[in-house]
A = this chain, B = another copy of it.
Amino acid sequence: MTDQLSRVFAALADPTRRDMVTRLSVADATVGDLAAPYDVSLQAVSKHLKVLEEAGLVSRSRQAQRRPVHLQAEVFDLMTAWIERYRQQAEERFSRLDAVLAQITTTETDTRQEGTAS
């Protein structure tokens, strides 16, 4: 997996990591803060954070002693852009279907009216 979008989707394919992201959307947090509600080791939490970090979803301050984890909200735009593109295509597809159905209905009505007239 080389592309970032794949890494973002893969990073979010885990309920614990999604929960971490949800909590980081409320406030920055240290690894200790993040580990508190889960029944897992600090090492396991660090591993999850590394996956989120490699996807670009979170960043950690190199300077600060507490090294709080910060959510990189702009990365969500990648996913939104992808979903939006899909939505547009699906909508266009349905618009075309509607147009075809409208055409069929009109043609059928015309044929029926012509039949009645003759």
Report B-chain residues with C-beta under 8 Å of the C-beta of A14.
1, 6
Number of copies: 2
Pairwise interchain contact A13-B18, C-beta atoms closer than 8 A: no
- Is A47 in the interface zone, CB < 8 Å from B? no
- Segment of A19-27, A37-45, A61-69, A102-110 engaged in the interface with chain B: A19-27
Report B-chain residues with C-beta under 8 Å of the C-beta of A99.
none
Q: List 25 A-B contacts (CB under 8 A).
A: A1-B14, A3-B15, A5-B15, A5-B18, A6-B13, A6-B14, A7-B13, A9-B9, A9-B12, A9-B13, A10-B10, A10-B13, A18-B82, A21-B86, A22-B86, A22-B89, A25-B93, A26-B93, A27-B93, A71-B90, A73-B90, A76-B83, A79-B83, A80-B83, A83-B83
